[in-house]
Structure 1
Amino acid sequence: MPTDVGSKPDSAVLLGLDSSLLRSLIAVVETGSFVGGARIVHRTPSAISMQMKRLEAQVGQPVFAHQGRSVVLTPAGEVLLTYARRVLGIADEAIMRFNRQSQKSTVRLGMTDEYAIAFLPSVLASFAAAHPLVEIQVTCRLSTVLSDMIDDGELDVALVTANSTGRAGPPAGGIFRDRLVWAAAPQGTAHLRRPLPIAVGPPSCMWRKAAVDALDAAGISYRLACTSENYAGQLAPVLAELAVAPLPCSALPSGVTSLGPEDGLPAVGYFEIALRRSHQASDELTRAVIDHVGAYFQTRLPV
């Protein structure tokens, strides 16, 4: 007999589920469509649709609901997704433990300097505890460069800036939404100078564009006091009280304060963080990294 919507699926039902159905379920959720999920698991959209119908038949409840061209999880689907991640995570860990105990594997993970400072320690600690034999190679570059590396198969997984937006709230397509603020020295006066001295990334940086657009809209003149691809290079003139810099709220270190409209500087807006994976990456290890990164961001409160 089907369970009530939102209740836990029967354990016997879960044990009888094909792991390929669960992997397809997660792929559809991550991409928001059967077409996108099909690309990840290397199946046709029609095959994915049939798999999801089989999955719904086995659990006895609808898993997806259509929302325009996208699909969203029903309450029962949300519960099933949680179990699917746990079941596949345990299965993957068992395979790795028994088949690769004497073999060190490698995952190539990319993210910006800011994300590495804000998020990487916690992600690494969680992943290393579950996969002690796996080596993680971390590459810190601009989001545009990381995306190219993913497309070229030079990275397995990457945290990148997906898009900027003026709205707060939950992420629309990424895994986390953060806020850009003006980083400044606590007792500094750089934000009072005109033209405003700013430390920014290169022209391709989304945060630079968002900051410049905000200043232009507010009619505030500015000058480029420092341009650097690295977080440290942008932070140095801030600490020296020579400039302000548009940086993620979550990445501000101690000794640096955030400024906004109440300080005479325009709001810069919000941006989303997306998790990208290479189709050439190992499904087993890549899935484990994605699960740990996703679990970490689920525990973080929006800023």
Structure 2
Amino acid sequence: MSSDLDKLQGTWSVTALQSDGKPMSGALLQEARIVVKGDQFTSLGMGAPYKGVLEIAADKKPKTVDLVFTGGHAKGTRQLGIYRIDGDEWSICFALPGDVRPRKFASPNGSGVVLETLSRTKPDKTPIKSPAHQPVLRSGSQSSSGKRTRLEGEWAMVSAVFNGTPMDDTMVKWCKRVVVGNTTKVLAGPQVFLDAQFTLGTGKPHDVIDYVNLSGQNKGEEQAGIYELSGNTLRICVAAPGGPRPKTFASKPGDGRTLTVWQLIKS
């Protein structure tokens, strides 16, 4: 009889994710997946990848899992959770953050507990093609030297809309943006949603920001956007990779745009 670790080998797509009882927007989960090889796991498709070790105890009731992160933003941390496997469906429930292991598969309001559901993905045998060219940063008022920009610092998320769907407030509180030089990351706990290099430029009626994704599903792809900095409040609206630059601060169903608002908490 195969062990639970044997059953987990392969690639799993994230089909649902709840935090504090509220579902995460499907727009954030389209490419999200976890790859398990041996006792090692890699999380992909939600910004920068991160890696770790699965420590499972199948003899517990409920069965327990520790996610020990060995690479990426969460390196050196451990998340305590429980899990279950039902054929090609895998459920994980863990606290984010926290050192108390959940006892049941639920994400009550205000608990900070995350409930994640994954489905096994069949191997894709399509050959991977090399890109025709490697995108480069567009020129702008900020070069790629890594010098401090006017966006430098740590920002707390105030609100977010993805492809016309607002992010639930219970997820918003976990998100932050960190800007160092001309690089930026958007994080929710250990998840990295965006890892990019950027340039800033002046424009009318709005100043412009351009990303080149450094990792994740969109690695190497460019995104055009606009931004507005008013005191300690920052608004950014960016197009989907390769899409036209937004003209207004808006995100509607089907346009693929992301609209976020941030408050500076550390400069």
Common topology (TM > 0.5): no
What TM-score bracket applies, with the shorter chain setting the length?
under 0.3
Higher strand share: 2
TM-score w.r.t. the length of structure 1 is 0.25
TM-score w.r.t. the length of structure 2 is 0.27
**Which has the larger Rg?**
1
Higher helix share: 1
